[in-house]
Amino acid sequence: MALSGVEIFKLLPKTNCKKCGAPTCLAFAMKLAQRQASIDSCPDVSEEAKQKLGEASAPPIRPITLGAGDKAVKMGEETVLFRHDKKFVNPCAFAVEVKDTLSEDEIAKLCQQVIESEIDRVGQKLRVDAIMISNVSGDAGKLEAAAKVVAAKAAVVPVIISTTNPQAAEAAVKLFSDKKPIIYGANASNVEAMAAVAKANKATLGIAANGLDELSDLTEKVKGLGVEDMVIDSGARRAKDIIAHNTLIRRAAIKKGVKSVGYPVINFMQHGDSLVEGLLASVGIAKYASIIVVSSIEKWKNLALFTLRQNIYTDPQVPMQVEQKIYNIGEPTPESPLFITTNFSLTYFIVSGEIENSKVASRLAVMDCEGLSVLTAWAAGKFTASKIAQFIQDSGVEKDVANKELILPGYVAILSGAVEEKLPGWKITVGPREANAIPTFLKTR
Ligand code: SF4
């Protein structure tokens, strides 16, 4: 269980020496209780207190890494139930199932789809993160053969091996020995053998339980067998059970300090109907899944799920914004158009993307409006004629442009006269309201 500020205070030296940066030991204790400081900042704390505090301050959901290198996925470490309390830490990973009954060509094709699934959205790289090789054939040789294709065709992609057969798991996991794979499929009848395979191969063990009570018993047992890294599946497959079980698990781990369910949750969303699969996956994203397994990769589904995941795992207390400056798009000349917009990330990436699509080299003046979009910034008095004029003058862009024309977003056409007054010698043009009209706007000029 987490310790209160006062309980932590009792373990500190109480000298108020300020070496930790806090004015008093009590203030430091309060910061520790809110997970805003690390005990390492106090040089005088005793080893015994350090150990007690270390145990108490460990995240209620155990941190787990799947895979290695650039594409490794971190999961767990969550500390809250609601993201308005504090941001969610590690976005859930998407894994696509590769059945060992598929042909070598079909497996290679799926591997390629996973590699090509990466997109850039609002400056972040989003992708299908992992491959789950599943032993649906029940044949250990087929699982190993499928694993060999995945190891060859998608060497950098993190892997989950799904089987209830410890011998099959052993043969397949060896192909990914230095890549922190997950072996999923430890249940009441094979748990000792599966734990032994996971332990010998330094793999994370996926617990396949039948209900929450069994889940808790299995994780205790696995821990007793010397395996600390686990991901957990309560057996929930329908949307209402996924919501109920995932919520009970998260609440028990965070609010009650129940260690036996303090692990990342893996949910299986495979469904013959892609739309239903997408809906199930969205339930998992919204409600605490750390890994979501889907059956196929489709661009429309990826885009919907990536966007939802990105929104849920964005810190709602910190606006997404880009730096205020003049951005060159392509290689602008003095005759190139000059646009202006606000520094809300989504606005910047959409506007700059559409200017790029137009293939007309341009300048984009991005003004700091505290991460607000154009209309919101205008309504909040942050994107006004005076502020725009001041920004353009201070930016020094005037020396780079021949015709001194500034293109305003169409939504603030109302500002054009006032900006012209504040920027003597400049021509103010009203651009399109929607960014997707920018290429046509540029072509018809
Ligand atoms: Fe107290 Fe340690 Fe901070 Fe000094 S460094 S004020 S002893 S918590």
Structural domains present in the chain: 5-57 (1.10.15.40), 64-312 (3.20.20.20), 325-443 (3.40.50.11600)
Shortest-distance Cα residue to atom 8 of ligand 1: 25
Is residue 274 within 8 Å of residue 76, measured between CB atoms? no
Cβ partners under 8 Å of residue 51, min gap 6 = none
What distance in angstroms lies between residue 88's CA and the mean position of ligand 1's atoms?
30
What does the angle CA 167 – CA 168 – CA 172 come to, to the nearest 5 degrees? 120
User: Among 36, 42, 45, 53, which is best to mutate for testing ligand 1, by the most ligand atoms less than 8 A from CB?
Assistant: 42
Phi and psi, residue 84, nearest 5°: -80, -15
User: Among 6, 11, 14, 15, which is best to mutate for testing ligand 1, by the most ligand atoms less than 8 A from CB?
Assistant: 15
Cβ partners under 8 Å of residue 432, min gap 6 = 409, 410, 438, 440, 441
Shortest-distance Cα residue to atom 4 of ligand 1: 17
Task: Please tell me the distance from the alpha carbon of residue 72 to that of residue 96, in angstroms, as a whole number.
Answer: 16
Is residue 192 within 8 Å of residue 101, measured between CB atoms? no
Shortest-distance Cα residue to atom 3 of ligand 1: 20
Is residue 229 within 8 Å of residue 66, measured between CB atoms? no
Sign of torsion over alpha carbons 176, 178, 182, 184: positive
Residue among 93, 109, 312, 107 nearest 206 (CA): 93
Task: Please tell me the distance from the alpha carbon of residue 373 to that of residue 435, in angstroms, as a whole number.
Answer: 12
CA of residue 74 relative to chain centroid, distance: 9
What distance in angstroms lies between residue 235's CA and the mean position of ligand 1's atoms?
47
**Residue 83: burial class (beta carbons within 10 Å; 0-12, 13-18, 19+):** middle
- So what's the pLDDT on residue 1? 56
Task: Please tell me the distance from the alpha carbon of residue 75 to that of residue 263, in angstroms, as a whole number.
Answer: 9
The letter for the amino acid at 260 is: S
- So what's the pLDDT on residue 207? 98
What distance in angstroms lies between residue 50's CA and the mean position of ligand 1's atoms?
13
Strand pairing partners for 182? Answer: 160, 204
Query: What is the DSSP code string of 39-88?
Result: GGG-TT--HHHHHHHHHHHS-SS--EEES-GGG-EEE-----SSTTTS--
Cβ partners under 8 Å of residue 280, min gap 6 = 239, 242, 269, 271
Residue among 78, 157, 63 nearest 110 (CA): 157
Shortest-distance Cα residue to atom 2 of ligand 1: 42
Say which residue the tokens 């209900």 belong to: 211
Task: Please tell me the distance from the alpha carbon of residue 361 to that of residue 327, in angstroms, as a whole number.
Answer: 11
User: Among 6, 14, 16, 39, which is best to mutate for testing ligand 1, by the most ligand atoms less than 8 A from CB?
Assistant: 16
Task: Please tell me the distance from the alpha carbon of residue 390 to that of residue 266, in angstroms, as a whole number.
Answer: 52
Strand pairing partners for 406? Answer: 428
Q: Tell me the two tokens of residue 428.
A: 């103010």
The letter for the amino acid at 62 is: R
H or E element: which one contains 339? strand 338-342
What distance in angstroms lies between residue 104's CA and the mean position of ligand 1's atoms?
61
Atom number in ligand 1 closest to CA 25: 1
Lining residues, ligand 1, CB within 6 Å: 12-13, 15-20, 22, 25, 28, 42, 44
- So what's the pLDDT on residue 320? 82
- So what's the pLDDT on residue 123? 74
What distance in angstroms lies between residue 52's CA and the mean position of ligand 1's atoms?
17
Is residue 291 within 8 Å of residue 91, measured between CB atoms? no
Would you give the end-to-end CA distance of the chain in angstroms?
Answer: 66
Say which residue the tokens 């006269």 belong to: 417
Q: Tell me the two tokens of residue 354.
A: 């559409």
User: Among 6, 25, 30, which is best to mutate for testing ligand 1, by the most ligand atoms less than 8 A from CB?
Assistant: 25
Is residue 104 within 8 Å of residue 69, measured between CB atoms? no
User: Among 6, 18, 50, which is best to mutate for testing ligand 1, by the most ligand atoms less than 8 A from CB?
Assistant: 18
- So what's the pLDDT on residue 254? 92
Q: Give the pLDDT of the chain (445 residues) as one tens digit per residue.
A: 567 889 899 999 999 999 999 999 999 998 888 777 888 889 999 988 888 887 766 789 999 999 999 999 999 999 899 988 888 999 999 999 999 999 999 999 999 999 999 998 877 889 999 999 999 999 999 999 999 999 999 999 999 999 999 999 999 999 998 899 999 999 999 999 999 999 999 999 999 999 999 999 999 999 999 999 999 999 999 999 999 999 999 999 999 989 999 999 999 999 999 999 999 999 999 999 999 999 999 999 999 999 999 999 988 877 788 999 999 999 999 999 999 999 998 899 999 999 999 999 999 999 999 999 999 999 999 999 999 999 999 999 999 999 999 999 999 999 999 999 999 999 999 999 999 999 999 999 8
What distance in angstroms lies between residue 51's CA and the mean position of ligand 1's atoms?
17
Atom number in ligand 1 closest to CA 16: 6
Atom number in ligand 1 closest to CA 41: 5
Atom number in ligand 1 closest to CA 24: 6
Is residue 371 within 8 Å of residue 319, measured between CB atoms? yes
What distance in angstroms lies between residue 17's CA and the mean position of ligand 1's atoms?
5
Shortest-distance Cα residue to atom 1 of ligand 1: 25
What distance in angstroms lies between residue 176's CA and the mean position of ligand 1's atoms?
45
